[in-house]
């Protein structure tokens, strides 16, 4: 009985399969032509390269974004604990200001398309309006020779914009009013930085002359450095820094935090310089990575040797700034000089930054983090070095570019600071400076919860 039951089940299943088969075959025949009609066009090598380029540019963008955390950590570590909240607040505000003002006007001031103000044949100023919807073509390989999309172009360049104001933040730390600094940063990043940048990266008159700055030794770092110099001159030194003809060191509160900041900056610099290739072309990108890393390493050795000889002891803060000096120094010519020359440029930058910090202290220019020495002085050195060590560029033209940027950025920053000083005020009160800007400006402490045991 059991045997016949099994045979019956098998017969039923067989009939079901045979009954369904014609329908399945018919469905397959109906589907196949439609599938063929909907088959997508094959992906070409150009399409794949466009995706790779765009992806690398976005990776470079978030590496540059990480640099802002590096700046915040470095500045906080090299200043007093009582001003830590203020430092972190400024660095948080700057990235927001940079992104929004670059959307509003900076992007199309820096890359205007056409220059509306031309004097003596020099293209000085142009503006295409706020960032616009690029349309479908702006999101495809039809934009930027197939390297990246319009939005990628914008966000990568926007990350650079806020860096200039961040440089100023460290130099004027521990005594500037928060509101005044934020107003300065807004105007400087929205107008001064992009107008100056248009002269070279926006195909302006310096570009026509043959001036060269690969990733911003001058266009980013010196632009910020000139603003920092103006701020330090107008603000004056911190209380007690210079008294009775002597220099009183005001130590930073956290060297571990400062060191973390430098390594974050070094990491971000691979995006800063590597992304400036503006594609994922493996040859140039890998070459720029090598020149960038070796210049930073050489800057450390240069600063280490110099402080050990001059000050008789190796100074960690100087060595940290030596790495940044090497990075700033190589940024102008990272793709244009040989690996050997990159090492030499970084090593000389490490020496220069030590003597610059010492010299500025002697003339009573109080820069708590060494921003002027790192970004302005070594930015100038790096820009000139691109002409000295590259056969394709002229040191005379490079020097002309340095002078042009100084002649524009320093007076513009000075006027902004002076206008703020004589209107809403620039410097905090003596009581606030002594008590710390964290409590005076923000009503909070960075390291609360600690009790003094007696």
Percentage above 70 pLDDT, the chain: 85
* pLDDT beyond 50 at 274: yes
Task: Say if residue 1's pLDDT is above 80.
Answer: no
* Tally of domains within the chain: 1
Q: Once rounded to an integer, what is the mean pLDDT over residues 234-262? A: 93
DSSP string for 243-307: ETTEE-----S-HHHHHHHHHHHHHHHHHHHHGGG-S--HHHHHHHHHHHHHHHHHHHHHHHHHH
DSSP string, 100-157: HHIIIIIHHHHS-SS-SEEETTEEEE----S----TGGGGSTTSGGGT--HHHHHHHH
pLDDT value of residue 130: 67
Tokens representing residue 292 in the block = 């960038």
What percent of the chain stands above pLDDT 90? 75
State the Cα–Cα distance between residues 28 and 21, nearest whole angstrom.
11
Q: Confirm whether 11 is domain-assigned.
A: no
CA trace torsion 371, 374, 377, 382 (10° rounding): -140
Report how far apart, in Å, the C-alpha atoms of 195 and of each of 91, 111, 389 are.
23, 9, 28
pLDDT on residue 123: 65
CB 107 within 8 A of CB 157: yes
Q: Is the separation of the CB atoms in 79 and 87 below 8 Å?
A: yes
Beta-carbon contacts of 28 under 8 Å, excluding residues fewer than 6 positions away, are none
Which pLDDT score is estimated for 137?
72
Burial 389-404 (b: 16+ CB within 10 A, else e): bbeebbeeebeebbeb
* Structure-token pair, residue 197: 């940048």
- Please report which confidence band the pLDDT of residue 370 belongs to, taking 50, 70 and 90 as the band edges: very high
Average per-residue pLDDT for the chain: 88
Query: Is 123 among the domain residues?
Result: yes
| Residue 439 predicted with pLDDT over 90 | yes
Mean pLDDT, to the nearest integer, of 231-251?
Answer: 92
Q: How confident is the model at residue 124 (pLDDT cuts 50, 70, 90)?
A: low
Chain position carrying tokens 């310096």: 206
Q: Are 45 and 146 in contact (CB under 8 A)?
A: no
CATH number for position 198: 1.10.3430.10
Count Cβ atoms below 10 Å from residue 255 Cβ, excluding itself: 14
Does residue 306 contact residue 317 with C-beta atoms inside 8 Å?
Answer: no
406 inside domain: yes
Could you tell me if residue 448 is inside a domain? no
Confidence at residue 21, expressed as pLDDT on a 0 to 100 scale? 44
Assess whether pLDDT exceeds 60 at residue 6.
no
Q: What is the reported pLDDT for 11? A: 44
Q: If pLDDT is split at 50, 70 and 90, which confidence band does 180 have? A: very high
> Is 434 within a domain?
yes
Better-predicted residue by pLDDT, 45 or 215: 215
Summarize pLDDT for 49-68 with one digit per residue, the tens: 999 999 999 999 999 999 99
Torsion angle of the four alpha carbons 189, 193, 194, 196, in this order, in degrees rounded to the nearest 10: 160
**What pLDDT was estimated at residue 67?**
96
pLDDT at 15 over 60: no
> Could you read off the pLDDT of 301-322 as tens digits, one per residue?
999 999 999 999 999 999 999 9
Task: Supply the pLDDT for residue 132.
Answer: 66
Each residue of 125-141: pLDDT tens digit?
676 666 667 777 788 88
Q: Identify whether the C-beta of residue 435 lies closer than 8 Å to the C-beta of residue 82.
A: yes
Tell me if 38 sits within 8 A of 230, measured CB to CB.
no
d(CA 394, CA 62): 33
- Mean of the pLDDT values across residues 410-424? 97
Residue-wise pLDDT for 24-44, tens only, equals 444 444 444 444 445 656 778
pLDDT at 334: 97
- Judged against a pLDDT cut of 80, whether residue 97 lies above it is answered with yes
pTM: 0.87
Q: What is the pLDDT of residue 22?
A: 45
Average the pLDDT over 234-252 and give the result: 91
119-147 burial by CB neighbour count: b if 16+ within 10 A, else e? eeeebbbbbeeebeebeeebeebebbeeb
242-243 and 122-125: which strand pairing?
A: unpaired
Element spanning 242, H or E:
strand 242-243
Which of 329, 316, 322, 320 minimizes the C-alpha distance to 303?
322
The answer to whether the CB of 166 falls within 8 A of the CB of 73 is: no
SS (H, E, C) 4-71: HHHHHHHHHHHHHHHHHHHHHHHHHHHHHHHHHHHCCCCCCHHHHHHHHHHHHHHHHHHHHHHHHHHH
Would you say residue 450 lies in a domain? Answer: no
Residue 40 lies in a domain: no
Query: What does DSSP assign to residue 311?
Result: S
- Phi/psi of residue 278, each to 5°? 65, 25
**Which residue did the predictor score with more confidence, 120 or 280?**
280
Residue 215 has pLDDT above 90, yes or no: yes
pLDDT at 4: 45
User: Exposure pattern of 190-201 as b/e (b: 16+ CB <10 Å)?
Assistant: bbbbbbbbbbbb
pLDDT at 129: 63
Asked if residue 20 belongs to a domain, the reply is: no
Distance CA 148, CA 279 (A): 8
Determine the structural domain holding residue 424 and report its residue range.
46-442
Task: Mention every residue, 6+ apart, whose C-beta is less than 8 A from residue 78.
Answer: 170, 252, 258, 317, 368, 369, 370
């Amino acid at each position: 009985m059991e045997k016949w039951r099994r045979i019956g089940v098998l017969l039923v299943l067989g009939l079901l399969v045979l009954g369904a088969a014609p329908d399945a075959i018919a469905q397959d025949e109906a589907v196949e032509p439609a599938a063929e009609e909907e088959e997508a066009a094959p992906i070409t090598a150009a399409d794949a390269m466009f995706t790779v380029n765009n992806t690398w540019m976005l990776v470079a963008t978030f590496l540059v974004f990480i640099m802002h955390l590096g700046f915040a950590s470095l500045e906080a570590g090299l200043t007093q604990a009582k001003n830590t909240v203020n430092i972190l607040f400024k660095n948080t505000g700057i990235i927001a200001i940079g992104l929004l003002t670059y959307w509003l006007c900076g992007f199309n001031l820096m890359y205007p398309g056409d220059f509306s103000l031309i004097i003596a044949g020099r293209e000085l100023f142009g503006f295409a309006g706020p960032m616009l919807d690029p349309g479908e073509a702006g999101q495809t390989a039809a934009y930027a020779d197939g390297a990246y999309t319009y939005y990628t172009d914008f966000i990568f360049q926007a990350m650079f914009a806020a860096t200039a104001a961040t440089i100023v933040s460290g130099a004027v730390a521990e005594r500037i009013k928060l509101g005044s600094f934020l107003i300065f940063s807004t105007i400087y990043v929205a107008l001064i930085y992009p107008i100056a940048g248009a002269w070279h990266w926006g195909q302006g008159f310096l570009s026509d002359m043959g001036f060269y700055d690969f990733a911003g030794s001058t266009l980013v770092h010196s632009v910020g450095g000139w603003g920092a110099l103006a701020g330090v001159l107008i603000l004056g030194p911190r209380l007690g820094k210079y008294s009775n003809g002597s220099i009183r060191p005001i130590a930073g509160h956290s060297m571990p935090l400062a060191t973390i900041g430098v390594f974050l900056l070094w990491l971000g610099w691979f995006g800063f310089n590597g992304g400036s290739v503006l594609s994922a072309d493996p040859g140039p990108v890998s070459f720029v990575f090598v020149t960038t890393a070796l210049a930073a390493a050489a800057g450390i050795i240069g600063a280490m040797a110099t402080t050990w000889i001059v000050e008789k002891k190796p100074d960690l803060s100087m060595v940290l700034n030596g790495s940044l000096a090497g990075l700033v120094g190589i940024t102008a010519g990272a793709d244009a000089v040989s690996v050997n020359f990159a090492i030499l440029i970084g090593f000389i930058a490490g020496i220069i930054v030590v003597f610059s910090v010492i010299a500025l202290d002697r003339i009573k220019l109080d820069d708590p983090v060494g921003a002027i020495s790192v970004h302005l002085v070594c930015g100038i050195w790096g820009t000139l070095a691109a002409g000295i060590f590259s056969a394709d560029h002229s040191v005379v033209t490079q020097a002309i570019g340095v002078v042009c940027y100084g002649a524009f950025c320093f007076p513009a920053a000075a006027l902004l600071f002076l206008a703020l000083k004589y209107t809403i005020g620039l410097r905090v009160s003596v009581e606030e400076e002594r008590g710390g800007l964290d409590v005076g400006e923000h009503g909070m402490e960075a390291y609360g919860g600690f009790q003094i045991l007696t």
